[in-house]
Every structure is written in structure tokens, then in C-alpha cells.
Amino acid sequence: MKVMKFGGTSVGTAERMKSVAQLISCDMDTKIVVLSAMSGTTNTLVEISGYLYKKNPEGANTLINKLEQKYIAHTFELYKTEEWRKATTKFLHEEFDYLRSFTKVHFTSFEEKVILAQGEIISTNMMTNYLKECGENTILLSALDIIRTDKNAEPDFSYISNKSQNIMAENPGYKIYITQGFICRNAYGEIDNLLRGGSDYTACLIGAALKTEEIQIWTDIDGMHNNDPRIVENTVPVRQLHFEEAAELAYFGAKILHPTCIQPAKFAGVPVRLLNTMDPTAPGTLINNSFQPGTIKAVAAKDDIVCIQIESSRMLLAHGFLRKVFEIFEIYKTSIDMICTSEVGVSLTIDNAAHLNEIVEELKKYGTVSVEKEMVIVCVVGDLSANNIGFETMASEAFRQIPVRMISYGGSRHNISFLVQKEDKKRTLQALSDTLFHS
Ligand code: ASP
Ligand code: MG
């Protein structure tokens, strides 16, 4: 048994839905298929909610009606038989009437989450109906019965494990189990979600809970590339990554995967494979627990980084200085990404500047503070353990002509990060590709 998750673009049109249906029905293996909403839908639902918060029902209704027309048009392309097209049209009308009903109620974040859940509910119903029309042995399971978060809004893994095992046991004998990505219930039983892009997370949670042989994340690119393909030419997909390497790349900008989603898969030891719906036979990227010594895997960059430096002669020989500094970040719930220290100062970076002013004011108690905005963290991922001699130098070689503000090495055995200015991002990424992958 395996889990296959298809993102918004992979189910973005009737044509794409048909390709997905073909992919999931081409052999006799049992599959759990996790679907995103059709691309653009969640954004539109966010926009609709925006109008409802502003008490503008007309604005909301205009968007709801437009979205409904789009979906009705999809049914003409997707279904061959009148029977299934009619059944789906009826379902869609009920769905959109439900959306319209929110224009008459008091609108809060609770209602917004219910609205956001409809994108995945619609895409999974449409796909299930299509598979049934094609004669497939399929069943739709509601993710609202399986995925739950705890009081900290984190997935409640023991609940999810129990539920998914029970639901599978109660519904034996199907070839294709369809469910929604992204959506869940929270600790209070209300409809909630795993945050934007959370469908990957759903797939990994279910795969880990059922200890499936593999979790496949299908997107529209052939795996994780060794550098940002939007910026650097001639990037190639990385064939294999350790879970930690993949998490680091996802966090530092490789948009293909939700950064925290692979943790459950890692703990359960279930491999994750990134595959391309546009090129289904391409090998993609395999993420598992094996670590390839002596190889640099990839480079990624994270934008909008703020660098804060605190200099103080009081730090000299003093203890407790860093604790005081860190406490300030803790109070403002701001996490630190990179950190470098010397005897008389500390530089660190944050990617959430919401409380920057307050943090800086507090830090001034302990030293002279300077702030640089619009910085970029460039991270190199692979075997960067101390005994893999020379790889740090190879990475640093790329910075011969580029001003580097910070270097962080040794935090883990598979990462070295550099902080550069925004205007140097492109040439930094290119230079790293040239030195690490093309020489
Ligand atoms: N539909 C949700 C979003 O657009 C979840 C997902 O696609 O992963 O964020
Ligand atoms: Mg996604």
C-alpha cells in the first residue's frame, strides 16, 4: 500500500484530473490518494472570506458565482456520462449554496476555516465520481474523520494513527481510497486546517500512521532540484536526500515540499518520493533515512531575512549574555535561523520581522544594536561533516567575489549557510552551482 498526494496544479483542470485518475488506477496496488484543491481555489476561498470579514456579501457572492461557473464547466469536460455529470452538478450546487449561506451569518475565523475546507472537499468528490464513472473500486474517506490537531494546533499523531487504522479496517477491499489534504478538525472538534500547503503534511501523516511502503508527493516538477531552477540555469533533480537534508532544503526555500511535513515520515521510517505528474516515469527524488557520504546535494535560498547584530564589551568573559538575548526573542515568539558569536558580539537572523522594533529596543539594554534588512540565507546541503575534508572550502570558494555577512557551519553535519545581500543572491546561487556541481 502507498500514499499518493497530488497538489493543486496536478488536479488543476479536468484534463489533469483525468491524468491523475489514470496514474492511480493503472495497477492493482492499494492506494490512499490525498488531493489538494484545484489550483487557485484555496486562494479564491481566502478572498471570499476577506469580503465576508469586511461585511461585503456582494463581493463574496460575485466570486462564489464565478467559481461555481468554473466548476460547472469542468463537469462537462470531465464526465462522459449524463448520470455522473448530473450527480456532480447537484453536489456542486449544494456546495456553492452552502458557500453563499455564509453571506448571511456573523463571520469569524471559525467560518473562514469551514470555507477554506470546501476546496479539497470539492476536488475529492469530483475525482471519486470520475473514478466511479470509470468503473474503479474506490471510496471517499473524509479527512475530517482522520486528521486532528491538538491544543497546540499540532497534528495529534496518536489520534491520527488510531483513526486511520480503524477506518481502513472498517472499509476493507477497495483499491483506491481518496481523501482530502490540508483539512482537519482541531482539539475542539471544529473544522480547521494544517496551514497553506498542508496537503503534503496530510499525506505524510497518513503514510506514517499506516506505515505504508512509500509516500508519493506528485507535483509539476521532476523532484527537488540541486538549485533554484527559477534563478539558475541547468539545475538537475536530486535523486536521493536524507530526511534532514530535505527538511533543510524545504525550510530554506525549495518550494516543492512543506518544510515540517516529512517529520512523521522520518520517525516512521517511511520513504517519501517526489514525482512529476507531467512526466510520470521520471525517477524524481527519493527522501529516506540513508545518508550518502562525500556528496553535496543541493543549494537553496531563503529571502527576506533580517540580520541583527548586538555588540557589547560586556559580553567579554561574561556568562548569561546569550540567555538574555534569546529570552527577548522568545518573549516575541520570533525564531532565530542563523547565529554567529564572537567574544564581543553576536549576529543572528530572523525571518519574521513582525516584532522587530520591540526586539531591537529590548536588545539595546545589552549592547549596541544594528539591523540589516533584505538579506538572503543561502544554504548548501549534503555531507558537510567535519571528516568530509575540503567541502566547506569548496562551498566557500564560490564566494570569492561576493560579500558574505555571516557563515554558519557545524550546526548539523549536513548544512553550511551563508548570509548575503539580496542583490547578490542570483550570482551567489550561480557561483555555487558552478563550483559544486559543474566543476
Ligand atoms: N489547498 C491548500 C493550499 O492551497 C493546501 C494544499 O494545496 O496543500 O494551500
Ligand atoms: Mg503544495
> Which ligand sits nearest to residue 123's alpha carbon?
1
Residue span of the structural domain in which 90 resides: 2-219
Model pLDDT for residues 31-43, shown as the tens digit of each residue: 999 999 999 999 9
Give SS3 for 180: strand
Which grid coordinates belong to 328? Answer: 527577548
CATH number at residue 412: 3.30.2130.10
Q: Residue 439: is it exposed, middle or buried by C-beta count within 10 angstroms (0-12/13-18/19+)?
A: exposed
Give me the mean pLDDT over the 83-106 stretch.
Answer: 97
**What is the rounded end-to-end Cα distance, in angstroms, of the chain?**
42
Cα angle vertex 391, ends 389, 394, to 5°?
130
Residues 348, 238: Cα–Cα separation, whole Å: 30
Residue 394 has pLDDT above 90, yes or no: no
- Tell me which long-range contacts 189-193 makes (C-beta under 8 A, separation of at least 24): 190/110, 190/113, 191/113, 191/114, 191/117, 191/144, 192/113, 192/149, 192/153, 193/113, 193/116, 193/117
Q: Residue 149 gets which letter from DSSP?
A: B
Ligand 1, atom nearest to 258 Cα: 8
**pLDDT of amino acid 438:** 84
**pLDDT of amino acid 316:** 64
Domain boundary among 172, 196, 219: 219
Above pLDDT 90, what percent of the chain?
87
In a domain, 279, yes or no: no
Return the exposure string of 136-167: e unless at least 16 CB atoms fall within 10 Å of the residue's CB, then b.
bebbbbebbebbbbeeeeebbbebbbebbeeb
In a domain, 411, yes or no: yes
- Of 268, 260, 198, nearest to 35 by C-alpha is 198
Which grid coordinates belong to 41? Answer: 481555489
- Tell me which long-range contacts 383-391 makes (C-beta under 8 A, separation of at least 24): 383/291, 383/292, 383/293, 383/294, 383/295, 383/296, 383/413, 383/414, 384/296, 384/409, 384/413, 384/414, 384/415, 384/416, 385/293, 385/413, 385/414, 386/410, 386/413, 388/293, 388/294, 391/296
Give the model's confidence band at 250: pLDDT under 50 very low, under 70 low, under 90 confident, else very high.
confident
Q: How far is the CA of 255 from the centre of ligand 2 (A)?
A: 8
- 79 shares its domain with 199: yes
C-beta separation of 183 from 193 below 8 A: yes
- Residue to substitute in 43, 196, 217, 258 for testing ligand 1 pocket (most ligand atoms within 8 angstroms of CB): 196
In a domain, 315, yes or no: yes
Domain boundary among 185, 219, 253: 219
**pLDDT of amino acid 205:** 98
> Which ligand sits nearest to residue 42's alpha carbon?
1
Residue 86 main-chain phi, psi, to 5 deg: -65, -45
Give the model's confidence band at 315: pLDDT under 50 very low, under 70 low, under 90 confident, else very high.
low
- 200 shares its domain with 304: no
Q: How far is the CA of 199 from the centre of ligand 2 (A)?
A: 7
- 323 shares its domain with 430: yes
Give me the mean pLDDT over the 348-366 stretch.
Answer: 96
- 202 shares its domain with 335: no
CATH number at residue 72: 3.40.1160.10
Which H/E stretch holds residue 287? strand 285-288
Report the pocket of ligand 1 as residue ranges, CB < 6 Å. Answer: 7-8, 36-37, 42, 119, 181-182, 196-199
Which grid coordinates belong to 149? Answer: 490537531
Which grid coordinates belong to 130? Answer: 470520475
- 311 shares its domain with 193: no
- 174 shares its domain with 312: no
Give the model's confidence band at 389: pLDDT under 50 very low, under 70 low, under 90 confident, else very high.
confident
Model pLDDT for residues 12-59, shown as the tens digit of each residue: 999 999 999 999 999 999 999 999 999 999 999 999 999 999 999 999
The pTM for the full model equals 0.91
Residues 123, 70: Cα–Cα separation, whole Å: 13
> Helices 57-78 and 82-101 sit at what angle, rounded to 10 degrees?
170
In a domain, 365, yes or no: yes
**How many Å is the Cα radius of gyration of the chain?**
24
In a domain, 290, yes or no: no
> Which ligand sits nearest to residue 195's alpha carbon?
1
Ranking 91-100, 205-214, 263-272, 389-398 by mean pLDDT, the lowest is: 389-398
In a domain, 140, yes or no: yes
Give SS3 for 288: strand
Model pLDDT for residues 170-202, shown as the tens digit of each residue: 999 999 999 999 999 999 999 999 999 999 999
Residues 316, 318: Cα–Cα separation, whole Å: 5
Ligand 1, atom nearest to 120 Cα: 1
Domain boundary among 204, 219, 234: 219
In a domain, 208, yes or no: yes
Q: How far is the CA of 268 from the centre of ligand 2 (A)?
A: 22
**pLDDT of amino acid 136:** 98
- Residue to substitute in 199, 255, 277 for testing ligand 1 pocket (most ligand atoms within 8 angstroms of CB): 199
Q: How far is the CA of 259 from the centre of ligand 2 (A)?
A: 11
Give the model's confidence band at 392: pLDDT under 50 very low, under 70 low, under 90 confident, else very high.
confident
The position carrying cell 495497477 is 27
Above pLDDT 70, what percent of the chain?
99
Q: How far is the CA of 256 from the centre of ligand 2 (A)?
A: 7
- 306 shares its domain with 214: no
- Of 227, 240, 234, nearest to 271 by C-alpha is 240
- 65 shares its domain with 151: yes
Ligand 1, atom nearest to 36 Cα: 7
In a domain, 77, yes or no: yes
Considering only CA atoms, which residue is closest to atom 4 of ligand 1? 42
CA 323 → CA 318, 328, 408, distances in Å? 11, 9, 19
Ranking 93-102, 312-321, 391-400 by mean pLDDT, the lowest is: 312-321
Q: How far is the CA of 175 from the centre of ligand 2 (A)?
A: 25
Considering only CA atoms, which residue is closest to atom 8 of ligand 1? 197
> Which ligand sits nearest to residue 117's alpha carbon?
1
Give the model's confidence band at 284: pLDDT under 50 very low, under 70 low, under 90 confident, else very high.
very high
Q: Where in 87-155 does DSSP place strands (E)?
A: 138-140
- 337 shares its domain with 432: yes
Total count of domains within the chain: 2
Q: How far is the CA of 184 from the centre of ligand 1 (A)?
A: 13
Which grid coordinates belong to 321? Answer: 549574555
Residue 219 has pLDDT above 90, yes or no: yes
Residue 417 has pLDDT above 70, yes or no: yes
